[in-house]
Structure 1
Amino acid sequence: MEKLLVRAPMNRESLEKLRLYFTEIIYMPWTDTGERFYEQEMIACLLAEKPDALITELDVINETVLKEYSALAFIGDCRAAPENIDVKACEKYNIPVLCTPARNANAVAEMWVSTLIAFERNLVASVNWTKEKQWQPGTTPYYLWMGNEIYKSKIGFVGFGAVARNIARLLQGFNVEIAFYDPFVKEASEYKKESLEELFATSDYISVHLPVTETTKRMINRDLLKLIKSESLFINSSRSAVVDNQALYDLIAAGKIRGAILDVLDTEPPVGPDSEVVDLPNVLLTPHIYGASHQVVDHQSEIITRSIEEYLKKQELAGVGDRP
């Protein structure tokens, strides 16, 4: 193929590998400006560069874009799922979409463990207390900020894909019981599979790891949330839309559950009910950064490059030449 347009951040090693397949690579990642391309910007870029293939991450690719420019042999999307791409429109124009599943699974897993420990050991509050010079003679921070270990607790995962499995792997040294609910996972020999209701009613920590589909939207509803033990903690680092967040906030504010760790909200930045949860003292809220590590660029670069190589080799074996 002649030209590859790369709109996602990628490492040098992967770009060099791709040069074996493309005469020219135009590297203009969205991180150069900090802004994704929406419809009109994307159309203008494609018409100006006229690439044979595209690698993107955040840019909007929908039917409006493809009506103006559809001469793409494939689109590589550096996302676990192509949320920025209209896959049906791509199918209409016979453009395969390649993704990067589990690109940030390790980043999310490490952050999950660190924020759980930070919550249980009062890390944020104790650091702020110290910085605000409240540590005065006569105070006893050892007892004032005494927290909880996760030792011998039960952790229940709703969804047991790559992220949840990575977290489970990191937890091996903590002596915890791990259970999961996932209708697509038949068994996991070292972990216990449970019903959704049992998981919510018996776990000390309930952690959500679900994509947004017609089936999963608001799947974690008020009835399920009411099953959570009063001393338990709710964690959502996947997608806000899978949880009835108003029901969750009501339970937290009323002291019906011990608290929550959240990395996702219905509205980001928070407004309305989401802005109210910011002030709840028993909520640790991060600004959708669980998957944000510098190493994710390496992971997604390697995964998308491998996928493209496999795709092009299959095309070659099938006798499919370059697209006009």
Structure 2
Amino acid sequence: MKKLLVRAPINEENLIKLEKLFDEVIYMPWTDTGERFYEEEMIDCLLRERPDALITELDVINETVLKEYSDLVFIGDCRASPENIDVKACEKYDIPILCTPARNANAVAEMWISTLIAFERNLVDAVNWTKEKQWQIGTTPYHLWKGNEIYKSKIGFVGFGAVARNIAKLLKGFDVEIAFYDPFVNQLEEYKKVELEEIFLESDYITIHLPVNDATKQMINQDLLTLMKKDSIFINSSRSAVVDNRVLYELVENKKIRGAILDVLDTEPPTAEDDPVIACSNVLLTPHIYGASYQVVDHQSEIMTQNILSFLDREHLIEPAIGKLP
């Protein structure tokens, strides 16, 4: 194949491998400028470079773009699923999509563990308290910031794909009881498969690991959320759209549950509607950074290169997980 345009960060080792597969590789990752290409910029870039194949990560690829330039043998998307790509438009123009499932599974898993411990051990407040020089003679931080262990707790996973399973592996040392709901995963020897309602009724921690599609939008609704125990914690590090956050916010603000740990919001950055829950002392909110590790580039580089090799050999094609739970 002649020309590959790379708009996603790829490490040097795998860039060299790609350069052996193509006559020419144009490497211009979005990280050079910090900006994705929207329709007009993407069209201009494709018409200027005229690649045979494209690797992207954030750029918009839709019907408008492909109508102007559809001469792509494949599109590689360095995402778990192609949320920046119009899949139906690609099908119309017969352009396969190669994705990088599980590229940030380890990054998310480590962050999940760290934020849960930070929440339960009052880490953020304790650090701020110390920096603000409130630790003075006569204070008793040992008692003031005493928190909870996650040891022996019940953790329920909604969706049990790569991220969830990585978290479950890291939790082995905490001697917790793990249950999961996922209609696309069979019963596993190590973990208990249960019905969705049981996750919300029985778990100390409910953690969401779902993609967004027609079947999952607001799947975590009032009927499920109101089943939660008063001392339970709700964790969402996947997608905000799968949760009825209006109900969740009411539960948190009124302390109907013990708290929430959130890495995703309906609107990012947050709007005025999010201010009340952000201000809640029982909410730990991070700015959609669970998957943001430097090593993710290494993971996606390896996965993408292997997928392209397999595609060129016609051995295997990683299809986007559209319409499925993880």
Note the C-alpha offset of 1:20.
1.4
Residue in 2 that maps onto 1:180: 180
Residue in 2 that maps onto 1:222: 222
TM-score, normalised to structure 2's length? 0.96
Residue in 2 that maps onto 1:192: 192
Unpaired stretches in structure 1, ≥5 consecutive residues: 316-324
Give the Cα separation in 1 of the matches to 2:188 and 2:237. Answer: 22
Matched, 1:246 2:279: no
Residue in 2 that maps onto 1:305: 305
Give the Cα separation in 1 of the matches to 2:80 and 2:25. Answer: 23
Matched, 1:33 2:33: yes
Matched, 1:287 2:287: yes
TM-score, normalised to structure 1's length? 0.96
Residue in 2 that maps onto 1:42: 42
SS in 2 for 1:275: helix
> Is residue 42–residue 59 contact of structure 1 (8 Å, CA) maintained in 2?
yes
Q: Deviations over 1:167-195 (max 9, x none)?
A: 00000000100000111111111111111
Note the C-alpha offset of 1:164.
0.4
Give the Cα separation in 2 of the matches to 1:228 and 1:161. Answer: 23
Give the Cα separation in 2 of the matches to 1:258 and 1:273. Answer: 21
Residue in 2 that maps onto 1:78: 78
Give the Cα separation in 1 of the matches to 2:200 and 2:25. Answer: 50
Percent of counterpart pairs with the same letter?
A: 76
Matched, 1:108 2:108: yes
Residue in 1 that maps onto 2:319: none
Q: Deviations over 1:267-305 (max 9, x none)?
A: 101003223211111000000000000000000000000
1:79-228 matches, within 5 Å, as 79-228=79-228
Give the Cα separation in 1 of the matches to 2:125 and 2:302. Answer: 39
Q: Deviations over 1:131-171 (max 9, x none)?
A: 00000100010000000000100000000000000000000
Give the Cα separation in 2 of the matches to 1:228 and 1:286. Answer: 23
Residue in 2 that maps onto 1:320: none
Residue in 1 that maps onto 2:322: none
Note the C-alpha offset of 1:130.
0.1
Residue in 1 that maps onto 2:320: none
> Is residue 246–residue 273 contact of structure 1 (8 Å, CA) maintained in 2?
no
| Matched pairs, number | 315
Residue in 2 that maps onto 1:7: 7
1:310-321 matches, within 5 Å, as 310-314=310-314
Give the Cα separation in 1 of the matches to 2:210 and 2:272. Answer: 24
Q: Which amino acid aligns with 2:258?
A: R
SS in 2 for 1:76: strand
Unpaired stretches in structure 2, ≥5 consecutive residues: 316-326
Q: Deviations over 1:49-75 (max 9, x none)?
A: 111100000000001001111111100
Q: Deviations over 1:40-97 (max 9, x none)?
A: 0000000011111000000000010011111111000000000000111111111110
Once superposed, which parts of structure 1, at least 4 consecutive aligned residues long, lie more than 4 Å away? Answer: none
Give the Cα separation in 2 of the matches to 1:314 and 1:267. Answer: 40
